[in-house]
Each structure stands twice: as C-alpha cells, then as structure tokens.
Amino acid sequence: MTNANAVGAVAVIGGGIAGVQSALDLANSGYRVYLIESKPSIGGVMAQLDKTFPTLDCSACILSPKLVEASRHPDIKLMTYSEVTGLSGDAGNFTLTVKKKTRYIDIDNCVGCGDCLAKCPKKVDDEFEEGLSKRKAIYFQFPQAIPKVVTIDPDNCLMLKNGKCGNCAKVCQRGAVKYDLKDEFEDIEVGAVIMATGFEAFDPAILESYRFDHPDVVTALQFERYTNASGPFAGHIQTSKGELPKKIAFIQCVGSRNPEIGKAYCSSVCCTYAVKQSRLIKDHHPEVDVAVFNIDLRTFGKGYEEFALRAQDDGIRFINSRPSGVDVKNDGALSLRYEGSESEVVHEEFDLVVLSIGLQAPKSSVRLAEILGVALDKYGFVKTDLETPTETSRAGIFTAGVAQGPKDIPESVAQASGAASKAGALLNEARKSLETIAEIPPENPIGDEPRIGVIVCRCGTNIGGVVDVPAVVEYASALPNVVIAAEEMYSCADDTQSRIYDMIQDYKLNRFVVAACTPRTHEPLFQQTCQEAGLNPWLFEFANIREHCSWIHHDEPKNATHKAKDLVRQAVGKVKYYTPLYSQSLPLVHNAVVLGGGVSGLTAANELAENGYEVDLIEKTGELGGNVKKLQSYKARLDAIIQKAESNGKIHIHYNSMMEDVSGSVGNFRGKIMTAGKPVKELDFGIIIIATGAHELKQPGLFGYEDNPIVRTQLEFKEMVDKNEGGFKNVVFIQCAGSRNDERPYCSRICCTNTVRNAIQYKEQNPDAEIYVLYRDIRTYGMYEEQYTKARESGIHFMMYDKDEPPAVTGNTVAVHDRTINLHFSLDADCVVLSAATVAEAGNRDVGPMMKVPLTKDGFFMEVHPKLRPVDFGTDGVFVCGLAQFPKLFEESVSQAQAAASRACTILSRDALLSPAELSSVDESVCVGCGACQDVCPYHAITLEEKTVTQKGLSFKAVRSVINPAACKGCGCCAMSCPTGAIDQSHFDNVQLLSQVKSVFYFEEEVN
C-alpha cells in the first residue's frame, strides 16, 4: 500500500473540529499539512456552540487550545478563506489547486488590532451570531478568529462596491488594507487528501408550517448564541420583546427523519443538544417551562441517557409527538398543534420555539466531490463502506466528520484521527520527509544580574488611545533591573521583531518583557523572537495591558495608566527570577501493545503495523474476532481483517494471553505477557491500546431468558438468522432489555439498529412471519434511520412501551401496553428476541488500575475528555477503542480503532519524547517524602522512591518524591500541596509568583 515516491504532505479540507484534529494528528506524526478552510477562520460550527454535552463544557474553552495549537504548529500551513478548485495525480502524488480568496487585506501586515472595524460605517448581519446581531463589512469572523486578521466582505464594502468610503485603509496604520488585491491560486503537492467539510445547518424556512419567519421561532444554532455568555444577548434568554420567555418549546427532527424533503436520515445530534439547551435554560431559570417535542428521544451516546434523565429530573417535559405546525395568533403569540396522549389535538402556547434543525451536507460538497472525484451518497454525504469508514471511493482521499454522515463531536474527532491514520499509513515511506526542523541559535550567556528590556505596545489606538503609553515607558525605565524601555506602535509586527532582536543584542539583555495583549495568543511569537536573538524563550514575560486594561477601562484613562504601570511592574518583578528552561529529551520505545483481538483490536493493530510499528496483540481467548466471530454475515469482513493481521510480520499475536505487571509511562512501559497463566515474555513498549471489548448481557430470568426456551438474545438470534435457521412465525423483539434501567441507566446504543437490521433480514427470509418490536425509543441514528423506515414499510410492527410498564413474557405470549395508542395487547410469540444490554468486561477492573486509567461507574473505560479526546486517557500513551469505551457498531469500532492508532502514531513517530519545559521539579534536600504531591497529581507523574540523599555533607538513604517528566503536564498542584516547598513548578515557581504578587504593591514614595 505504501508508495516509495509519495509526498509527505496531506491536504485537509475543512477547518472544523474534524479537520483540525486530522491536521494535528498528521502534523504530530511527521507530515506536512495544508489545512484548507473556506471561511476566514478555522473553528467550524463548534466555535459557535455554547456548551457541549454531556459535560456542559464550554465549547470555546475546549476548542480554542486546539485551534491555537493548529495555528502554531510549524508543520500545519493554514489556508483560510481558500477553496479547492482542482486536483490531479494519484494517491501518494496529488496536485491540489487552491484558490486563495482575497480578503483585500495584506495579511502579512495586518496585526488584527481591529482599529478598522470601529471606523467601518457598514453594518451587516453577523453570520457567526446567526444573524442575531450585526458586524461590519470589514470583520473578524468571531472575536477569537484564527488567523487573527480582518476580512473585507466584498458584497457589503462601500469602497469595493461604490468606490466610496475607504475608512479602513485610512485608519490602518499598517497599510494593510488594499482594495485592489485579487484572488490567488496556488498548487500544492500532497500525498493524500482528507475531506472534512462538515455540514450546513438545515434551513427551516422551507418548512413553512413552522413559521420561521416569526422572530420568536429560532433555530437551535441561533439558540446556542442566545445562551452563550459572549453571544448577542450576553447569555440572557429572551423573546423578541426582550422578556424572559415563560414557556419554551423545542421541536425535534426539523429537517431530519423527513423523506418528503429528501432528509430521511436522523441527524443524530439534535435530541441530545435539545436536552442540553433545555437543561441550560433550567439551570438559569428553573421557573421556565420547557417542552421537547420528539418522535423518539435519541440520547444514545456515552453518558447521554443519564444526561437526559437529569433533564427529566429538572422538570423538562418530553412529549412524544411531532407538532404539525406552529400557529401565529393575531396578537403574535405562538401556539403549537400536536397530538396529545389520548390522540386528541392539543393547542399549547409558547413564548419561544426552538427548531432542532438537522445537519445536511454542504451544497458546495457536490462541486468539491466532482473536483476530487469521490462518490457521494444521495444526501450529498461522502460515501464509505462499512469496514472502511474513513475511505472514499478514490484511493488516497479520506474523509471524516459530518462530511461522511451526521454524527456528534466525539465521533467526528475519532473519525478524523482515523482518517489521519489511514493517510499516514499510505504515506509512511515519506513520513518526516517534509517535516520542519527548527534551528535554534546558540544562547547568549545570561550572567548574574538581570538586564531587562521592556516594550510597551500602543496597539494602534487599542492601548495607546486609553493608556498613557509614554508615561508607562518612562515608569518602566526607572524600575530596578530595567535597562531599556521603549514603545512600539504594533509590537507583534514583523519590523518590531527585528527591533526587539536588536535591543536584546545592543543592550545585552537577559530578560524581556512585552506589555501588549494576551500571552494566550502572542507569547509564542515573542518567545520565538527572543530565541532568535539568543535568549532562552522562557526568559520572556508578558504584561497584558490590552485585554486586561485598556479595553476594559476605556473611560478611565488615568486609572488604566496606573494599572498598566502596575502590570508592567508585576511582569518585571516576575521576569527577573526567570531562569532558562529546556525540554528534556526522553527515550522512547517504538512499539505498541494492543489488548484485545476483536474487530477494534485487530483494526488498531493493522493500522499501527501499516504505519510501520511493531505490535504485540494480546487476546485472552484462543481465537480472534470477538463478538462478531460467530456471525456469518460479518465473516468475509472479519476474515479480511484477521488475515491482514496474521499476515503482517509486524504483528505478533498472543492467544490465551493477558498483560500483567505493567510499569513505566508513555514511551517506556514494561509489562509481562502471560500466556495460559505463565509468563512468556517481558516486553518494553511505547504505547498501549485497550480494546478489550464488551459483551452482551445474558441475564437468567430477564424476560424469561434461560427459563423460557423461546427467549434468546439478539446475538443468538442473529447467529440463527445468518444461518437461515429459525422458521418462527411470530417474532417479538424487546428493546432495552437490561439497559436504561436503574441498574444500567445507560443506553446500549447499538440494539435498535441491530434489531431493525435483523428484523428486516428475518422478514426477507420469512415474508409470512409476524414481527413485533417493543421499544421505548427507536434509536436508529444517522443513516440507520433508513433501515427503520424500511422495517416499518416491510410490515414489521413497532409498539412503544413505557419504562414502568415493561412487556411480560409468559410461555408463548407477550403482554404489552402500547403507550402510543394506550391499548393492551397479548402477542403470540414463538421467538422472543432480547435486545440485551451491552455490558463492560469485568476484567476492566484489573486493566484500569494497572494502566492507571479510570472507568465509568458502568465499568467502561473513561476517556480523558468525552468530547475532544475520545480515545485518549489522562495517562499518556494509553488509548482506548471499541466496546471497551462504550457500545458501538462495527463501523464505529473500526473508525475508533483507527483513531486510537493515529493518536498512538503521534507518539511512536517521534525520535524521542520531549517533555514540556515548564515542569515541576523536586529539591531532594528539602523533600521529606511525605507523599502529599503523589496523592494530588492527576497524572501519576510523581512516585516516592528511595534515594541516596546528600545533605550537609552527609549521605543517607531516604524516600523522596520523583517526578516523571514524561507524565508531568505542569499544572503545579503538587507545588501547592507540598508542605515544605520542595516541589516547585518552573516558570511559575514560588519565588517568581511571590515576586509578582509583591510587585502589585508599592509605597507612593517608591514611585520614581
């Protein structure tokens, strides 16, 4: 599969969360990445979201670091506001033509100060705020846009349209506005392409009955902005009259599960986001009545069902009915028409109606697919096969995220990593061929006495318009150890960097302070300048006098100036105690262990091997294949995967084996492979993927299971159906058997889809059979909805039962209360199929502690972040995939296994591990070995070890804390917990922080 002449670069089309994830994984695995985004900024729809379910994490908080990381990565080239217009060549050697739309801005000169925005007279609807507020014709897509450069909207710019105005060019002190710029085209050479083009939100205007024209009928995406603290209403939920709505309705499946408008699929995410939005309303305003109108409530993801249960506890009404429409009364009030529990028509008034709009393929994807030569399905999503969920119809072009079909963020991220793994494997020969190798100039000797240089930035008028910058410069010059202070119009501009360079040289500076904007975006730039000038980058400190001063004290210039001086003094106070820091290079073993030989484990092993790494695959039973090995219908697919693993020389399969006694950390694990209870191999390995699977619940007595011969589980039934056995006349499926109950509150996710698939298969084999499906909510998400529709069309009966009134199986009858029509039935059955819960392996309780990774209360492995790091753990170098993480379908397991492999490749592909520079360290002469640090460290980076300590000339053995630099992430909680001060966090050490705190205060007499 590899190509000796391949290009070691990948184009990722789409800068949403999926594209960014693919880009980061690839760039961190030794490839150059072109990240192509049609909008002015990367970030995609996730940047617009308020909170994310089920953790209610702030979306911006978790997304921004990824975006910043992508923008700073030396091997990721951002091509924003750009579109792909052509493709030639083949897998391994593509040439992609990219149109770089002009922003009418010389982006090398724009520093993102935003002075131009203030002077632009033209206001237009803000797309980022979903039209709820206005932006200017020259604009940032959103405040944290990356790259932080402005764009002129040519359709609205008065200058471009009429040749009148030109304010922005006049006000720009950098001369960055250039109205005569033209679009440019660039050809890029890449080995592979990943299409992660995301989705468009469904436009509800075409569903006229929902009255989207009314100002109080809003889309869920708009509602994200309603609840967002930085949204147009500062997080205050309000009607168009500006009042808090008393009643809010959510209408589900707007633009989903609707074949009439060509959207027969389920958008997968709307139910849970509606639950999330409802809960956010209730959080702030418990008194507001919230009703969610749904056909089935599809909260099928990990933790989502529990999330919805809490919503019910919050008093949110879930109504199993799809309103036929929204009526606008004469006084403008909104009323919903829907079918009540007694099949009567109910009219209910609401103050605000939120349409839970679905996800649809972007219109532009048709054209893009033509250019790329990849096939789309009938809805415009990228077509893939079950066993290759990240591969398009064209070799070398991969896909991820909603571009491939509706899915939520964790699956998009997993698939994005999976696509990265496939692209990486394809280009393995060319890995690192285009990688940037940073050249670091030698460092100047720093001497003893701090010699500090200070730059105070005016940032155009942003700072200079409020803060008396010359006064701050004068003040700074007089501070102890400050050798030189100067002001700059734009400290981040290129020409300023060369002046900083000269200043460091001319004045022999050994510390540097910039008082400007926020370190969160600009610190790396100045650190780099320092580094180029021979100054260790950790001898630099930032004072934030823009975001934290001029911008928020606009009307108090005197106080702002006073504060700016304080902030500079604080920075000087801290920087003088800075010391040079260096990353440590730690050895790394370049091979992997995969626990579990099911579909996930096999796929992960295959991916790793194709990416060039040795893998020890450890299977506890005597054969490979896991849950699907008995199923005829998966045989061909499974055999192909097994064959691939068995024939790959890099994969070493251990049957009847376990991993035990694991020690060490990322890059350097060591463990014992036990085969049939005996140790057979002591193994060093760099990473480990946990793919230990899960199993179907076989609970005696559950609906008569094991007592009643007609009752069998889904897998048992599937095994029969695959063999065309059975011959039953009346088959009754019972959903949620052992799931969504008090013992196992989670939804097992896969059972509904398996039921409709198996029911259809059985119906096709036995057209005369009567098939009933007794369910609570049918959760055939995504494209599986088509199967559900097909099942209904083929005459399979669906009956909804209530949790509190489950069906009863007695002999050959199943009694059920159909809650939709409120009737009791007694069904004949010669086969009852239990959609039994998927339950975690008991062995997880051993693996978890061994690998220092946590489990959920249901016994599945708990990834470090359910949204953006779905296969990672807090313990580096340990990954999870497949059913060990949560129940999932075959194709989802495949893409998650690929993801785990991709994440592993970001470690294995490095020559050595580099620790972060700002770690904690231990002073052994002060440490007493009390272990307080060990207890609080969330990364298990601290151990207590017996060491020979020399103190006052005496050497003795004592227990001391030892920090593993490979595991430490630099949070510093150990430093806080240490009673002796033996542990300290570099760059934020006690002396530095205390000096910074003390510098806040001074006596009047000390001033000048």
Partner 1 sequence: MSEVKNTAASSCASSGEFIPKIVMFCCNWCSYAGADGAGVSRFQQPANVRVVRVMCSSRVDPVHIYTAFLEGADAVLITGCHIGDCHYVNGNDKTLVKYKFIKSMLKEMGMEDERLMLRWISASEGQQFAEFVTEMVEKVKALGPSPLRKEGVV
Partner 2 sequence: MSAPENTAPAGAPPAGKPPEKKPPAPSTVGDILKPSDIAVGGKYIGWSVREEIRKEGGSGGLVTSVLAGALEKGLVKHVVVLKKSNQYEAVPVLTSDVEDVYASAGSMHMLISNPTKYLRQFQNDAAIALAVKPCDMRGIREQQKRNMLDLDKIFTVGLNCGGTMMPYKIRKVTEEVYGVNPDDVRAEEIEKGKLILETADGEHHSQSIDELEEEDNGRRENCRYCVVKIATNSDLACGNWGVMPDYAGKGTFVEVMTEKGAEFLRNAIEGGYAEVKEASEPAAEARGKVNGIMLKMSAKTKEEIFVPMQSQTILDLKKELENCIGCGACKTVCPPCACGAEAKCTSFNDPADNYDISLFHMIRFLHLMDSCIGCGQCSDVCPAEIPLARLYRKFANPMQDELNYVTGMDDRTPPFFEIKLEEVQ
Tell me which of partner 1, partner 2, none is bound by residue 980, counting a contact when its beta carbon lies within the kind-specific cut-off of 5 to 8 angstroms.
partner 2
Residue (767 or 979) nearer to partner 2, CB: 979
Candidates 76-84, 246-254, 277-285, 566-574; binding stretch for partner 1 (CB under 8 A):
566-574
Separation CA 278–CA 274 (nearest Å): 6
Residue (181 or 944) nearer to partner 2, CB: 944
- Binding residue (CB under 8 A) for partner 2 from 205, 229, 994, 1000: 994
Per-residue x/- marks for partner 1, 11-50, CB under 8 A? ---------------------------------------x
Tell me which of partner 1, partner 2, none is bound by residue 708, counting a contact when its beta carbon lies within the kind-specific cut-off of 5 to 8 angstroms.
none
Separation CA 545–CA 476 (nearest Å): 13
Q: Does 864 bind partner 1 (CB under 8 A)?
A: yes
Distance of CA 500 to the CA centre of its chain: 37
In the complex, minimum distance from the CB of residue 206 to partner 1, in angstroms, rounded to a whole number: 32
Q: Does 285 bind partner 1 (CB under 8 A)?
A: no
Tell me which of partner 2, partner 1, none is bound by residue 56, counting a contact when its beta carbon lies within the kind-specific cut-off of 5 to 8 angstroms.
partner 1
Size of the site for partner 1 (CB under 8 A): 75
Q: Find the binding residues for partner 1 in span 904-963 (CB under 8 A).
A: 918, 936, 938-939
Nearest 5°: phi and psi at 910?
A: -80, 155
The long-range contacts involving 239-242, CB below 8 angstroms and separated by at least 24 positions, are: 239/351, 239/352, 240/215, 240/216
Q: What is the DSSP letter of 89?
A: E
Among residues 740, 716, 748, 697, the alpha carbon closest in space to that of 883 is found at: 748
Tell me which of partner 1, partner 2, none is bound by residue 931, counting a contact when its beta carbon lies within the kind-specific cut-off of 5 to 8 angstroms.
partner 2
- Binding residue (CB under 8 A) for partner 1 from 328, 471, 525, 958: 471
Residue (541 or 607) nearer to partner 1, CB: 541
Size of the site for partner 2 (CB under 8 A): 18
Q: In 365-396, which positions are buried (b, 16+ CB within 10 angstroms) versus exposed (e)?
A: beebbeebebebeebbbbbbeebbbbbbebeb
Q: Is 283 helix (H, G, I), strand (E, B) or coil?
A: helix
Q: Find the binding residues for partner 2 in span 942-981 (CB under 8 A).
A: 944, 959, 977-981
CA distances from 339 to 253, 296, 347, 355, 918 (A): 16, 14, 9, 18, 61
Write down the H helix ranges in 745-889: 751-765, 784-793, 844-851
Tell me which of partner 1, partner 2, none is bound by residue 65, counting a contact when its beta carbon lies within the kind-specific cut-off of 5 to 8 angstroms.
partner 1
Residue (850 or 926) nearer to partner 2, CB: 926
Q: Find the binding residues for partner 1 in span 482-521 (CB under 8 A).
A: 518-520
Tell me which of partner 1, partner 2, none is bound by residue 556, counting a contact when its beta carbon lies within the kind-specific cut-off of 5 to 8 angstroms.
partner 1
Candidates 635-643, 844-852, 923-931, 987-995; binding stretch for partner 1 (CB under 8 A):
987-995
In the complex, minimum distance from the CB of residue 737 to partner 2, in angstroms, rounded to a whole number: 35
Q: What is the DSSP letter of 482?
A: E
Among residues 846, 856, 864, 845, the alpha carbon closest in space to that of 940 is found at: 864
Among residues 399, 398, 401, the alpha carbon closest in space to that of 426 is found at: 398
Tell me which of partner 1, partner 2, none is bound by residue 926, counting a contact when its beta carbon lies within the kind-specific cut-off of 5 to 8 angstroms.
partner 2
- Binding residue (CB under 8 A) for partner 1 from 556, 660, 725, 946: 556
Which residues lie across from 818 on neighbouring strands? Answer: 823
**Residues in Cβ contact with 318 at an 8 Å cutoff, skipping those fewer than 6 apart:** 291, 292, 294, 297, 308, 311, 312
Q: Find the binding residues for partner 1 in span 405-434 (CB under 8 A).
A: none
Candidates 230-238, 686-694, 713-721, 747-755; binding stretch for partner 1 (CB under 8 A):
230-238
Tokens of residue 886, six digits: 């949560």
- Give me the residue label for tokens 């060509």: 262
- Binding residue (CB under 8 A) for partner 1 from 123, 558, 729, 803: 558
- Binding residue (CB under 8 A) for partner 1 from 476, 560, 602, 836: 560
Tell me which of partner 2, partner 1, none is bound by residue 928, counting a contact when its beta carbon lies within the kind-specific cut-off of 5 to 8 angstroms.
partner 2
Q: Does 468 bind partner 1 (CB under 8 A)?
A: yes
Separation CA 157–CA 177 (nearest Å): 12
In the complex, minimum distance from the CB of residue 539 to partner 2, in angstroms, rounded to a whole number: 24
Angle at which helices 409-426 and 890-908 cross, to 10°: 60
Write down the H helix ranges in 507-620: 519-532, 557-575, 599-610
Q: Does 990 bind partner 2 (CB under 8 A)?
A: yes
Residue (67 or 982) nearer to partner 2, CB: 982
Side-chain-side CA neighbours of residue 580 (13 Å): 15
**Residues in Cβ contact with 379 at an 8 Å cutoff, skipping those fewer than 6 apart:** 262, 263, 265, 360, 361
Please report the DSSP string for 136-148 in residue order.
ESEE-SSTT-SS-
In the complex, minimum distance from the CB of residue 837 to partner 2, in angstroms, rounded to a whole number: 30
- Cis ω before 54 (30° cut-off from 0): yes
Q: Find the binding residues for partner 2 in span 909-938 (CB under 8 A).
A: 925-926, 928-932, 935-936
Tell me which of partner 2, partner 1, none is bound by residue 87, counting a contact when its beta carbon lies within the kind-specific cut-off of 5 to 8 angstroms.
none
Which residues lie across from 391 on neighbouring strands? Answer: 398
Tell me which of partner 2, partner 1, none is bound by residue 929, counting a contact when its beta carbon lies within the kind-specific cut-off of 5 to 8 angstroms.
partner 2
Q: Is 665 helix (H, G, I), strand (E, B) or coil?
A: strand
In the complex, minimum distance from the CB of residue 580 to partner 1, in angstroms, rounded to a whole number: 19
- Binding residue (CB under 8 A) for partner 1 from 629, 652, 852, 969: 969
Q: Does 56 bind partner 2 (CB under 8 A)?
A: no
Tell me which of partner 1, partner 2, none is bound by residue 519, counting a contact when its beta carbon lies within the kind-specific cut-off of 5 to 8 angstroms.
partner 1
In the complex, minimum distance from the CB of residue 874 to partner 1, in angstroms, rounded to a whole number: 5
Q: Find the binding residues for partner 1 in span 628-667 (CB under 8 A).
A: none
- Binding residue (CB under 8 A) for partner 1 from 1, 61, 205, 386: 61
Q: Is 297 helix (H, G, I), strand (E, B) or coil?
A: coil
**Helix or strand run (H / E) with residue 161:** helix 158-162
The sign one gets for the Cα dihedral 843, 849, 852, 856 is positive
Separation CA 336–CA 358 (nearest Å): 20
In the complex, minimum distance from the CB of residue 141 to partner 1, in angstroms, rounded to a whole number: 13
Contact between 737 and 775 (Cβ < 8 Å): no
Distance of CA 441 to the CA centre of its chain: 36
Q: In 426-462, which positions are buried (b, 16+ CB within 10 angstroms) versus exposed (e)?
A: bbbebbeebbeeeeeeebeebeeebbbbbbbbbbbbb
Q: Find the binding residues for partner 1 in span 128-187 (CB under 8 A).
A: 143-144
In the complex, minimum distance from the CB of residue 968 to partner 1, in angstroms, rounded to a whole number: 11
Residue (79 or 983) nearer to partner 1, CB: 983
Q: Find the binding residues for partner 1 in span 581-610 (CB under 8 A).
A: none
In the complex, minimum distance from the CB of residue 230 to partner 1, in angstroms, rounded to a whole number: 5
In the complex, minimum distance from the CB of residue 235 to partner 1, in angstroms, rounded to a whole number: 7
Tell me which of partner 2, partner 1, none is bound by residue 50, counting a contact when its beta carbon lies within the kind-specific cut-off of 5 to 8 angstroms.
partner 1
Candidates 396-404, 559-567, 613-621, 698-706; binding stretch for partner 1 (CB under 8 A):
559-567
Please report the DSSP string for 671-716 in residue order.
EEEEETTEEEEEEEESEEEE---EEE---TTGGGTTTSTTEEEHHH
Per-residue x/- marks for partner 1, 530-549, CB under 8 A? --------------x-xxxx
Point out which residues bind partner 2 (CB under 8 A). 925-926, 928-932, 935-936, 944, 959, 977-981, 990, 994
